[in-house]
Structure 1
Amino acid sequence: MSTEPRTPIGTPTPDALGRSAEALAAVTDIKAQAKEKAAAVKEEAVERTSLAADRIRVQTRHAAQRVKDTTPDPVLQQAGRAATAVRANRTPLLVVGAALVVLLLVRRGGGRR
């Protein structure tokens, strides 16, 4: 039995019919349902991506620490000096790298003719 107000002859009042129509419209509003589903999927994707990025950061730190722990000190010192030299001479290294890329592209293109 329904708890909706009824007219003296037993039919639902217009207000009850209006609520029923609104409920039916809400169920059949596919566009709104699709937007809600898309928002939920996007939120889940963002959360999963964040978790994956956190896991990758942790694993990268562990791997870097393992490499540092197992690499002999003289090699670490030499790598540190090389990194410092590269930072100090970025422009010449970039020019040399760009020239090398151009040379390789020219040689590759010349062999096809």
Structure 2
Amino acid sequence: MTNGALLTVVGLVLCQTDLLTLSPLQSSIVTWGLNTAWVSIASECANAYWGTANTLPIIVKVANAVGGLEWQEMIVLVSHLAILCMIPAFGVITSELFFGVKTTKRGEKH
């Protein structure tokens, strides 16, 4: 749920082209960073099926699952580590949103 809310807010900010402009490098960082959210979402679906106990123990207690196999635990763990790629993406968006060069409707820089 948190990923969905964050991605919705980021999408709304990025659609407002007068709020910020990104260079090609910044666009690549944001695109790849935000696309890693799909890896995490897919692993959460797999975790719901497998019931991995070591990586997400709270879910196992609620679902009364017995836990997954070792390789299933590793897949869920590694895919949750991939979400760390979102940190630079949010850093780029935040820095451009608050400290970037703004343009007015007439094309003048602030």
Give the TM bin, normalised by the shorter chain: under 0.3
Report which of the two structures shows the higher radius of gyration computed on alpha carbons. Answer: 1
- Greater RCO (Cα-Cα under 8 Å, separation 6 or more): 2
TM-score (norm: length of structure 1): 0.26
